[in-house]
A and B are shown apart, each in its own frame.
Chain A
Amino acid sequence: MDLVQMQKSLQDYTKSLFLEGILDSQFLQLQQLQDESNPDFVSQVVTLFFQDSDRILNDLSLSLDQQVVDFKKVDPHVHQLKGSSSSIGAQRVKNACVVFRNFCEQQNVEACHRCLQQVKQEYYLVKNRLETLFKLEQQIVASGGMVPAVELGF
Chain B
Amino acid sequence: MEKGGFSPVGLRVLVVDDDPTWLKILEKMLKKCSYEVTTCGLAREALRLLRERKDGYDIVISDVNMPDMDGFKLLEHVGLELDLPVIMMSVDGETSRVMKGVQHGACDYLLKPIRMKELKIIWQHVLRKKLQEVRDIEGCGYDGGADWITRYDEAHFLGGGEDVSFGKKRKDFDFEKKLLQDESDPSSSSSKKARVVWSFELHQKFVNAVNQIGCDHKAGPKKILDLMNVPWLTRENVASHLQKYRLYLSRLEKEKEIKCYSGGVKSIDSSPKDAEVNSGHQSPGKSSFVFSGGMFQKATETDPKPLASASLSDPNTDVIMPPKTKKTRIGFDPPPISSSAFDSLLPWNDASEVLESKPVLYENSFLQQLPLPSQSSYVANSAPSLMEEEMKPPYETPAGGSSVNADEFLMPQDKISTVTIQDLDPSAISCMKQQEFSSNVTNNTEAILRSLNWELPESHHSASLDTDLDLSCLNGDRFLANTGLYFQDYSNSPSLLSELPLNLWYGNERLPDPDDYSFMVDHGLFIS
B-contacting residues of A (Cβ < 8 Å)?
A: 26, 29-30, 33, 38, 41, 44-45, 48-49, 51-52, 76, 79-80, 82-84, 86-89
Q: Is the CB of B25 within 8 A of A84?
A: no
B92 close to chain A: CB less than 8 A: yes
CB of A125 to closest CB in B, whole Å: 18
Quick one: closest B residue to A37, CB to CB? B31
B113 close to chain A: CB less than 8 A: yes
Given contacts A29-B116, A87-B22, 15 further A-B contacts (CB under 8 A): A33-B25, A38-B28, A41-B28, A45-B25, A48-B21, A49-B21, A76-B65, A79-B92, A82-B91, A83-B22, A83-B63, A83-B112, A86-B112, A87-B25, A88-B21
Q: Is the CB of B19 within 8 A of A87?
A: yes
Q: Is the CB of A80 within 8 A of B21?
A: no
Bound-complex Cα distance A87 to B19 (A): 9
**Contacts A/B (CB < 8 Å), 19 sampled:** A26-B113, A29-B115, A29-B116, A38-B28, A44-B24, A45-B24, A48-B20, A52-B19, A76-B65, A79-B65, A80-B65, A83-B65, A86-B91, A86-B112, A86-B113, A87-B19, A87-B21, A87-B22, A87-B113
B32 close to chain A: CB less than 8 A: yes
Q: Is the CB of A84 within 8 A of B21?
A: yes
Quick one: closest B residue to A33, CB to CB? B28
Residues from chain B with a CB closer than 8 A to the CB of A51 are 20
> B1-42 vs A: 1/0 string, CB under 8 Å?
000000000000000001111101100110010000000000
Residues from chain B with a CB closer than 8 A to the CB of A26 are 113
Residues from chain A with a CB closer than 8 A to the CB of B90 are 83
State which of B20, B25, B29, B92 has its C-beta within 8 Å of the C-beta of A52: B20
The tally of CB-CB contacts under 8 A between chains A and B is: 52
Quick one: closest B residue to A80, CB to CB? B19
Residues from chain A with a CB closer than 8 A to the CB of B65 are 76, 79-80, 83
Q: Is the CB of B20 within 8 A of A83?
A: no
Residues from chain A with a CB closer than 8 A to the CB of B21 are 45, 48-49, 52, 84, 87-88
Give the residue among B21, B28, B29, B112 with the most A Cβ atoms within 10 A. Answer: B21
CB of B65 to closest CB in A, whole Å: 6
A-contacting residues of B (Cβ < 8 Å)?
A: 18-22, 24-25, 28-29, 32, 63, 65, 90-92, 112-113, 115-116
Bound-complex Cα distance A76 to B21 (A): 17
Quick one: closest A residue to B17, CB to CB? A83
CB of B100 to closest CB in A, whole Å: 15
Q: Is the CB of A29 within 8 A of B19?
A: no
State which of B24, B91, B92 has its C-beta within 8 Å of the C-beta of A48: B24
Bound-complex Cα distance A86 to B92 (A): 11
Residues from chain B with a CB closer than 8 A to the CB of A80 are 18-19, 65
CB of B116 to closest CB in A, whole Å: 8
CB of B176 to closest CB in A, whole Å: 40
Residues from chain A with a CB closer than 8 A to the CB of B32 are 33
Bound-complex Cα distance A144 to B19 (A): 35
Residues from chain A with a CB closer than 8 A to the CB of B112 are 83, 86-87
Quick one: closest A residue to B116, CB to CB? A29
Q: Is the CB of B91 within 8 A of A30?
A: no
Bound-complex Cα distance A41 to B63 (A): 22
Q: Is the CB of A29 within 8 A of B28?
A: no
CB of B49 to closest CB in A, whole Å: 22
Residues from chain B with a CB closer than 8 A to the CB of A79 are 65, 91-92
Residues from chain A with a CB closer than 8 A to the CB of B25 are 30, 33, 45, 87
Give the residue among B25, B32, B115 with the most A Cβ atoms within 10 A. Answer: B25
Bound-complex Cα distance A41 to B29 (A): 11
Quick one: closest B residue to A76, CB to CB? B65
Assess A33 versus B113: contact at CB under 8 Å? Given A48-B21, A52-B19, A83-B91. no
Residues from chain B with a CB closer than 8 A to the CB of A83 are 19, 22, 63, 65, 90-91, 112
Bound-complex Cα distance A41 to B25 (A): 9
Quick one: closest A residue to B29, CB to CB? A33
Q: Is the CB of B92 within 8 A of A89?
A: no
CB of B485 to closest CB in A, whole Å: 56
Quick one: closest B residue to A38, CB to CB? B28
Bound-complex Cα distance A55 to B442 (A): 52
Quick one: closest A residue to B92, CB to CB? A79
CB of B358 to closest CB in A, whole Å: 23
Give the residue among B28, B91, B92, B112 with the most A Cβ atoms within 10 A. Answer: B91
Residues from chain A with a CB closer than 8 A to the CB of B113 are 26, 29, 86-87, 89
Bound-complex Cα distance A88 to B21 (A): 8
Return the 6 tightest CB-CB contacts between A and B, nearest first.
A83-B91, A87-B21, A26-B113, A49-B21, A48-B21, A87-B22
CB of A105 to closest CB in B, whole Å: 12
Residues from chain B with a CB closer than 8 A to the CB of A29 are 113, 115-116
Residues from chain A with a CB closer than 8 A to the CB of B18 are 80
Assess A84 versus B19: contact at CB under 8 Å? Given A26-B113, A29-B115, A79-B65. yes
CB of A26 to closest CB in B, whole Å: 5
Residues from chain A with a CB closer than 8 A to the CB of B20 are 48, 51-52
Bound-complex Cα distance A44 to B24 (A): 9
Bound-complex Cα distance A84 to B25 (A): 11
Residues from chain A with a CB closer than 8 A to the CB of B24 are 44-45, 48
Residues from chain B with a CB closer than 8 A to the CB of A33 are 25, 28-29, 32
Residues from chain B with a CB closer than 8 A to the CB of A44 are 24
Residues from chain A with a CB closer than 8 A to the CB of B19 are 52, 80, 83-84, 87
Quick one: closest A residue to B89, CB to CB? A83
Residues from chain A with a CB closer than 8 A to the CB of B116 are 29
Bound-complex Cα distance A82 to B65 (A): 12
Bound-complex Cα distance A87 to B24 (A): 10
Bound-complex Cα distance A89 to B29 (A): 16
CB of A48 to closest CB in B, whole Å: 5
CB of A146 to closest CB in B, whole Å: 21
Residues from chain B with a CB closer than 8 A to the CB of A41 are 28
Quick one: closest A residue to B65, CB to CB? A79
